[in-house]
Structures are given as C-alpha cells and as structure tokens.
Structure 1
Amino acid sequence: MSLSSKAWDRFLNLVLRSDVAQINRVEWLTDVLYPFLSITELEQLATEPPHRFLSVKVLNHIANQEIRRHSELLAMGSAGSSLTGCVATWVGIPTELAQYSVNLVLLIQKLAYLYGWDDFYTYGAVTTETRARITFLMGSMLGIREADELLRRACHSYQGQVSITPMRYAGDRSPIDKVIAEISKRLLVLSAKGGITAWVGRKAPLIGVTLGASTSYILVKPSLVRLKVFLRDLVVVCPS
C-alpha cells in the first residue's frame, strides 16, 4: 500500500472503532423492517438477506428515506461547521470532514445491509475486511470505476454472495491505491469547500451557514443515490 493508502487505513480504522460509526446489522434491520415483516421473518434476518422477504421496491423506499435523512444530517453538520468556522477556520474544516466521514460510513453500512450484505464486523471487531468493504463501497458511491468493477466481479464470481467475498485490500492485484487516491481528491474538494464556507462564515455568519448547508446537500446526495442504485442492481443481477 502507498503512503496515502496507509494514512487512509489508519484514518478509517479510527472512524470505525468509534461506536457512533458502527451499525449492528440485525438490530438495525429489525428496527427498520419491523412494519413490513412477521416476527418469524424478522428472526430469520440473522441469517437471511431482506430481499428474501421483501420486494426491491420496498427496499428502495426504505433506502430513499435513509438517503434523505443522512443528506439532511450532512447539510446540518455542514451548517454547524460553518458556524464553528466563525471562530476559527482550522476548527471548521476538520469538524466538517469528521461529520462527513461518519455519516457516509453509517449510510454505506445501512444500504449494504438493506440490499443483502452480511455484518461488516467480526464479533463487533473492525478487521481488514471491514475496512475493505467500506473503502470500495465508498469508491463506488463516488463513481470510481475500479471499485465498481471489483464489486461486480465479486457478484458474478460468487453467485450473488457478494457479502462473503474477500475484498483485495492489499497486493499488486488490488485497486486500493487508485480508489483511495480518488477518495482523497473528493476529501480535498470537501476541505476546500469547508474552508471557503468557514471563511465566509467569519465575515457573514448567516450566508456562511446557508452556503455550507446547501452546497453539502447538492454535492453529496447524488453520490448517495448512486450507491443505492448500484447495490440495488447487484441484487437484481446477482440474486443470492
């Protein structure tokens, strides 16, 4: 792995070890699917994917609700970062990066679990596989071709059991360095946006807050929708 990839690995490991960034698959699916499934079906979610019991249309509806919720959280977080930037720009930028990263990691897990992936954690522990799944799904969310190709190959090679497919996170055949380089570019754009809105917030707080919230929503939501569509298509093309 390159130096930038190693830095990403340490950063992602730090984010994932926080309780606020982890989703318990069974607990979350049970909570969100309770109105749609019987008690017996809910109990089977421990070993079965949701699309065994629900149509893709219902899964899409739930996914859209989660995308809307996290888009709004990101917009509010960006507004808060702009206010923080009124005090000091160097405080506003890391605040926005932190809330951006946590919200994306949370939504990636929710969408993956909704469309059939198994638990990202081994008895609650963060592993190399955990970081690989988050990284490649984030890469796909951002439209990185190499991440899409890896996930599609896994889908076809393992007959739909994408969730148990080892993701190559290191080695010459892994696209990890390319994917992380592209993710880093997006984070630089976010940092630049955070710096601009924080600077504007120092001059005109109301404008800074409005600019931070609106630009965050516009920049992020299309990527979240893209990931939903990609995961949905994997379910349709490679049903487990």
Structure 2
Amino acid sequence: MKQGEVSDASESRFSVALFAAAKLPGVRIDREAYLRKTLARRCTEDEVRIAIAETPSAAGICLEVLDRAANDSIRFDTSKASAFSAAAGIPGVFAMPATVPADLAQYVTHMLRVSQKLAYLYSWPDLFESHADDIDDATMGVLTLFFGVMFGAQSANVAVGKVAGMMAENVAKKLPQKALTQGVIYPIVKKVAGYIGAEMTKQTFAKGVSKAIPLVGAAVSGGLTFATYRPMAKRLQKHLAGLELAIPQSKLVP
C-alpha cells in the first residue's frame, strides 16, 4: 500500500471511531449541567449563571479555579478509562477479538468526554448544541484537533489556537464553520486525523498484546491506559488554558 493510501486509511479509521463514539449514549456532555455541577462548589451563583449563559471567561472566573475543576474531571475520567481497560484484559487471549475493539471504543469515548469537559471549562461553545443525532463537520473537525493536541501533534496545537483566535476576535458563540470544513483549518484537520489513526493503531496493538495473558493482561492493560490517558488529557488542558478564550475578561487588557 502506498504512503498516501496508508494516510487515507488511517484518517478514515480515526474518523469512523470518533463518529461512532460521539453517537453512543452518555458520551455527549450536557454543557449547562456540567458547568453548574462543577462550578457550583467553587463559584458564586452569579458567576455560575454567567458562565452558563455566556462563558466562564465572561464570568471572570480565574484560571486557578478552572484548573482545579479540570484536574478533578481528568482524575475521574482517567480512573474510569483505566478500570474499563483492566476489565477488558481479564478474559485473556481467547476473548481478544471482542475485547480489543471494545477497549478502543471506550478509550475514544473517554477521550471524547474529557475533551468536552475541558473545552467547556475553558470557554469553548457547546459542541453538540443542536442535540441532534448527526454530528456536523465543524464539530468533528474541532474534536479531531483536540484529540490531535492530546496525541502531541504540533499542527493541532497551532490549528486550535487559530480557531480560538477567530472566535475571540468575533466574540463568537459558535465554531467557525467555514474555516473548519473548507477553509484554512480543514487541511490540518485531515492531516491530524491521519496521524491519530496511525497512533491509535500502535496503541491498540500494544494493548492487544497485553491482553494475551488473563489477569496479568488486566493489570498491564489498565496500567497502559492510565499511563497514556492522563498525560494526554493534561496536555489538552494546558493548551486550552493558555488560549485567549480562557482568560477572565476582567483581566483582559482593553
């Protein structure tokens, strides 16, 4: 298979996995409910109300508070992802055809959940605002870029920064559809999707090997998930926290 074909296959593999995960029950985070629950014990009622109606940045919530909330969410989802991965490793080699795809699906699912939580804390808009079954291309694009940041793709860091800059400049409450689907960001989205697909294939192989020995495979698989998931989530947190969108508006220079 030629290099271009390999890249296309990797891009398709990731896009299919992300699209399927985004349609699973319980994967989409209710922005209002999440912000209300997460910020209620750290902020005033007025701050919570403004954070929901507008953004945490507009509410003037300091980054230290948002970072603590983000760390709690990362800790929670890391524990769940690791526990599921460990459970998938218990049956051993004879269950591998079933457990490996299931483990990959849950891994993408938990990455998707934590990326939404971090986005909402750091003042990104509702990614599934319509609550429709279908996922629009702009949402798929920005989620791909978030995953790219988690996987360490520098081009994804740059692209997320550009998207955030467009939104901050226009005081937008929605994603820049054109840029993400046919404009300057779109080629980066496709490139990042191919990169993630290739990286996911490597991780799936490593976890699949770890599942070959029952019980021992559970510990190794759960450990691999813990060792990779948390640093990836922290990478996205650090990047989103450093963007202009996240800066409390009271601290912005006029």
TM bracket, shorter-chain basis:
0.7 to 0.9
Measure the CA separation in 1 of the matches of 2:45 and 2:164.
30
Q: Which residue of 1 aligns with 2:41?
A: 35
Q: Structure 2: where are the runs of 5+ without partners?
A: 1-6, 250-254
Task: For residue 155 of structure 1, report the CA deviation from its aligned partner.
Answer: 2.9
| Equivalent position amino acid for 2:14 in 1 | W
Corresponding residue for 1:174? 187
Contact 2:81 2:107 (C-alpha < 8 Å) held by counterparts: yes
Alignment of 1:194-233 (within 5 A): 194-201=207-214, 205=215, 207-233=216-242
- CA shift, 1:39, in A, is 3.0
Contact 2:153 2:192 in 1 (8 A): yes
Instruction: Tell whether the 8 Å contact from 1:74 to 1:99 is kept in structure 2 after alignment.
Output: yes
Instruction: Tell me the CA shift for residue 3 of structure 1.
Output: 5.0
Secondary structure in 1 aligned to 2:160?
A: helix
Q: Residue in 1 aligned with 2:113?
A: 106
Pair 155,111 (structure 1): closer, same or farther in 2 beyond 3 Å: same
Deviation of residue 45 (structure 1)?
2.8
Task: Name the residue aligned to 2:56.
Answer: 50
Shift of 1:239: 6.1
Spell out the pairing of 1:9-158 with structure 2 (5 A cutoff): 9-51=15-57, 52-125=59-132, 126-158=135-167
- Does the CA contact (< 8 Å) of 1:85 and 1:91 recur in 2? no
Q: Normalising to structure 2: TM-score of the pair?
A: 0.83
CA gap of 1:192–1:170, structure 2 versus 1, over 3 A, is farther
Contact 1:156 1:238 in 2 (8 A): no
Confirm or deny: 8 A CA contact 1:26 1:46 kept in the other structure.
yes
Give per-residue Cα distances to partners, 1:32-75, cap 9 Å, x unaligned.
11112333333323332113232100100111111111111121
* TM-score calculated relative to the size of structure 1: 0.88
Report the CA distance shift for 1:236/1:6 in structure 2 as closer, same or farther (over 3 A): closer
Give the unaligned 5+ runs of structure 1: none
Q: Does 1:8 align with 2:14?
A: yes
- Alpha-carbon separation, structure 1, partners of 2:246 and 2:26: 33
> Percent of aligned pairs with the same residue?
22
Kindly indicate whether the alpha-carbon contact (under 8 Å) linking 1:79 and 1:210 is maintained by their aligned counterparts in 2.
yes
- Partner residue, 1:188: 201
Q: Is the 8 A contact 1:115 1:231 kept in 2?
A: yes
Q: How many residues align?
A: 236
Find the residue that maps to 2:211 and give its secondary structure.
helix
Alignment of 1:165 with 2:176, yes or no, is: yes
